[in-house]
Amino acid sequence: MQRKIIQVNLGAAGVLLTVLSYFVYYQWSGNSALVRTGWAQLPFGLASVLVWRLNARGHDVWARWAVFGLAVGGTLAAILAGLGSALGAQVYFLLFAVLTLAFFPLTQWRSALLLSTLNATLFFAFERWGWPAHPALFELPETTRQWLSSSLVAGCIAVAMALTAISEWAADLNEQRLLELAGTDVLTGLRNRRALLQSLAGEVALARRSQRPLCLAVLDLDHFKSINDQHGHAAGDQVLREFSALMRSELRAYDTCGRLGGEEFVVLMPDTDLAQALASIDRLRATLAHRPLAWIDESVELTVSAGVASLADTSDADGASLLRAADEALYQAKRDGRNRVRTAS
């Protein structure tokens, strides 16, 4: 749906730019037929800003109807006011007939079919029976009329190509955003379990090929259930968000942070040996222990336990064994009293 909204906004921009460009030229020409045409089209071009307003307020269905209503109305105004069918302006109806099918989602196929049929009918009607141009139009030199006719056709093709190209770009951009959302934990903004496991597999493969160190840490917030019990789940969610922000600020930019589930987090640390990883995670632990998190008018004291493992110290050089080793180290930290970091080795 976001792609359709972008298409409609671009269509409105196309209507506005086309109308304003021709308006300037028509007024400059001084020909009364073209001047009449420019003024007849101008309201439809200026009204295209309403399309953006409708989309911004969530009325995307009305925005789609509006953009085509303005496009069709502006073209009709140009033909009836001065151009007639002599210069081939009716070719735009054929463009609108095709674009309608692309701009409307499949759930609104009836509306798309209705508008497409209407535009196709207008095109063939003007092609078959025509409409007389304003007499002043023929005061223009033949070469000028031919240039205007060619520019109308060329403009139609250019608009179609531009909208298609930008629409494809918008589709790719939207697809990338969807992929990012699919791999993002909604509450914390960190990577979710699915994205973490994918990153882990990739980092392990890279570390094995390049013979570089790789460490992984699993962190678990201590006594997190008591926070939910004492302060409510909203406080628990806020604590998870603030801890996630702390991880991003304290750890390195190229470390990959993610939420494994519940109050359990994972940090992937490429190009890092076990001693460096242990020091980095212990700094994070100490920072959290000395920084109570704020919840409304209360302070929530929080600690974290962590387990760190190195790919070089695991029996099987794969992501599953690395995660398992770090998880075992985490439970050792819990058994030793919490608020500490333990290593798999």
Name the residues annotated as catalytic: 263
Tell me phi and psi for residue 212, to 5 degrees: -105, 155
Q: Are 76 and 54 in contact (CB under 8 A)?
A: no
Q: CA dist 279 to 23, 184, 217, 322, Å?
A: 68, 27, 11, 18
**What is the number of other CB atoms lying within 10 angstroms of the CB of residue 309?**
28
| Nearest Cα residue to 156 out of 8, 18, 5, 13 | 18
| Nearest Cα residue to 136 out of 91, 90, 84 | 84
| Nearest Cα residue to 306 out of 323, 321, 327, 286 | 327
Spatial distance between the Cα atoms of 201 and 38, rounded to a whole number of angstroms:
62
| Helix ranges (DSSP H) in the chain | 2-29, 32-46, 49-56, 60-78, 91-103, 109-128, 142-182, 193-210, 224-231, 233-250, 274-289, 319-335
Question: Mapping DSSP to helix (H, G, I), strand (E, B) and coil, where does residue 340 land?
Answer: coil
CA 325, 180, 254, 241 dihedral sign is negative
